[in-house]
Amino acid sequence: MPIDNDYFKNRKQNSGNNNSNNGGNNNGGGGDYQPPFEPPEFFSKLGKMGGMIYLVIAIVILLVVAKPFVIINSGEVGIKVTTGKYETEPLQPGFHLYIPVIQKVITVDTKVRLINYKTIEDMSGFGTGIKINPAINILDARGLPVSIELTVQYKLLAHGAPTTIATWGMAWEDKIVNPVVRNIVRNVVGGFNAEDLPQQRNVIATQIENGIRKEIEALEGKPVSIESVQLREIVLPTKIKDQIEKVQVANQESERVKYEVLRAKQEAEKRAAKATGDAEANRIEAQGRADAVAIEAAAQAKANSLISKSLTKNLLHLEQIKVQGKFNEALKDNKDAKIFLTPGGSTPNIWVDTKDRAKQAGIN
């Protein structure tokens, strides 16, 4: 607080009066009293502005305590409520002011959220934006109990968030998504027999996702968007599982036998085809040889025919003369040889050397 100089002035006057009453024994020292220090001029001005400073400080404290502003983060929208009434236009990410007491702002999450439906024994993994619900228990077409585990991805649509919260409240996902999911799963899976579920898994998953998406989007204002639905597990009764395993083993054995039979048949067909091919090859080879012989015989016959047609009496006589000339030449060296001439003068003639005891004969 500013220092008041009047205090020192009054003290100085009182001190002077006391000295006068004492007969001036203090040599008038009281009239020369000075304050210990003079306050700076700044404090004097500060005393005049004190009211304004107090007002500013009060306003700052009020702002901190009342907090008439809100910051909306990405992936969120704000809903301004004025005297209990929800405004239809959502507040987008950023800085927003509102009037305390009269207004308030509700922040809601518009990011993708998850609901995991799983068995009681595996109720783990809860986190921000993830809800864990029990697996959906269903009776199949014959009344046998079946459990379905699946994951649903969804998000609140920002443009309709104020209307959605005003209509369904902050627990909107338990009132919109969860009932629809359970209802659709029961309707779809309840139409199948338990033992057929594993084989029809893809069909069931498609029907569940399409059914959930259709029913959610049919709500007024389309408050929620279904991103995806994954069928994770079909939990069957123990007896049904054992029966399916036995059928699978039998089917595998049957398939193995069919494979062996088919393989044996293919091997037999392969051998038969090879034998047929070899036989055809042998036939073709034999036919080729026969054709070659026939061609050769035909050529020889044709040659003989041409030769026979070319043999005339004059040609034969000429040939006889040539042979006779050879014999005459031979008789010059072997005068004891005998020559037998073929009747009619045709060739060949027979030459016999009488000196050769073996009677070797040569045909020319």
Distance, in Å, from the CA atom of 285 to the CA atom of 277, rounded to the nearest integer, reads: 12
Q: Do 145 and 120 share a structural domain?
A: yes
What pLDDT band is residue 27 in, cutting at 50, 70 and 90? Answer: very low
Radius of gyration (Cα) for the chain, nearest Å? 64
* Rounded (10°) CA dihedral 55, 61, 64, 66: -80
Distance of CA 355 to the CA centre of its chain: 110
pLDDT, average across residues 269-296? 84
**Is residue 28 over pLDDT 50?**
no
Pairing of strands 350-352, 145-156: unpaired
* Average pLDDT, integer, range 37-43: 55
Q: Give 322-327's long-range contacts (Cβ < 8 A, gap of 24+).
A: 323/347, 323/348, 323/349, 323/364, 324/349, 326/364, 327/351
Domain CATH code at residue 146: 3.30.479.30
The answer on 176 and 122 residing in a single domain is yes
Q: Is residue 269 part of a domain?
A: yes
Average pLDDT over residues 307-331: 72
- Mean pLDDT across 63-70: 76
Number of structural domains, the chain? 5
The mean of the pLDDT values for the chain is 78
| 83, 109, 135 - which closes a domain | 109
Candidates 113, 220, 223, 216; CA nearest to 165 is 223
**110-144 pLDDT, tens per residue?**
999 999 999 866 555 555 678 899 999 998 888 88
Nearest to 176 by CA among 192, 159, 193, 161: 161
Q: What's the N-to-C CA distance of the chain in angstroms?
A: 168
The pLDDT value recorded for residue 25 is: 47
Burial of residue 59 (CB within 10 Å: 0-12, 13-18, 19+) is exposed
Greatest mean pLDDT among 201-215, 244-258, 311-325? 201-215
**What percent of the chain is modeled with pLDDT above 90?**
29
Q: Residue 213: its pLDDT value, please?
A: 94
Q: Are 87 and 69 in contact (CB under 8 A)?
A: no
How much is the average pLDDT of 16-28?
A: 47
pLDDT at 242: 75
27 within domain boundaries: yes
Q: Residue 328: pLDDT band by 50, 70, 90 thresholds? A: confident
Residues 84 and 61 in one domain: no
- Which pLDDT band holds residue 180 (cuts at 50, 70, 90)? very high
pTM comes to 0.54
Which pLDDT score, from 0 to 100, does residue 72 have?
Answer: 93
Closest CA to 318 of 343, 340, 347: 347
Cβ–Cβ < 8 Å for 349, 341: yes
Distances (CA, A) of 185 to 12, 93, 173, 331: 98, 37, 17, 128
Q: Kindly state whether residues 213 and 274 are assigned to the same domain.
A: no
| Two tokens, residue 125 | 């993994």
Q: Is 263 exposed, middle or buried (0-12, 13-18, 19+ CB in 10 A)?
A: exposed
1 occurs within a structural domain: no
What percentage of the chain exceeds 70 in pLDDT? Answer: 72
Q: Does 81 map to a domain?
A: yes
Measured CA to CA, the distance from residue 219 to residue 67 in angstroms comes to 37
pLDDT of 291 over the 90 cut: no
Bigger pLDDT: 249 vs 235: 235
User: Residues 232, 288: one domain?
Assistant: no
Residue with the bigger pLDDT between 101 and 128: it is: 101
245 and 305 share one domain: yes
Q: Taking residues 153-166, what's their average pLDDT?
A: 92
* Pair (203, 262) in one structural domain: no
Residue 79, domain member (yes or no)? yes
**Residues 144 and 83 both lie in one domain:** no
Q: Does residue 219 surpass a pLDDT of 60? A: yes
| Amino acid, single-letter form, for residue 257 | V
- Residue 299, helix vs strand vs coil: helix
Domain boundaries, position 89: 69-109
- The arithmetic mean of pLDDT across residues 292-314, rounded, is 77
Q: 35 in a domain, yes or no?
A: yes
Domain match, 139 and 230 both: yes
Q: How does DSSP assign 232-258, residue by residue?
A: EEEE--HHHHHHHHHHHHHHHHHHHHH
Per-residue confidence at 179, pLDDT binned at 50, 70, 90? very high
Span 77-89, pLDDT tens digits: 999 999 989 999 9
The phi, psi pair for 148, rounded to 5°, reads -115, 130
CB contact set of 207 (below 8 Å; sequence gap of 6+):
188
Q: Residues 162, 267: one domain?
A: no
- φ, ψ at 36 (rounded to 5°): -60, -35
- ∠ CA 147-148-151 to the nearest 5 degrees? 150
Is residue 323's pLDDT more than 50? yes
pLDDT band at 359 (very low <50, low <70, confident <90, very high): very low
User: Would residue 162 count as lying in a domain?
Assistant: yes
51 and 77 part of one domain: no
In a domain, 263, yes or no: yes
pLDDT at 145 over 80: yes
Question: What pLDDT is attached to residue 3?
Answer: 45
Give the end of a domain, one of 236, 252, 286.
236
Q: Which of 236, 268, 296 is the last residue of a domain?
A: 236
pLDDT above 80: residue 33? no
The answer to which of 131-135, 297-301, 336-340 has the lowest mean pLDDT is: 336-340
Let me know whether 305 and 330 are in one domain: no
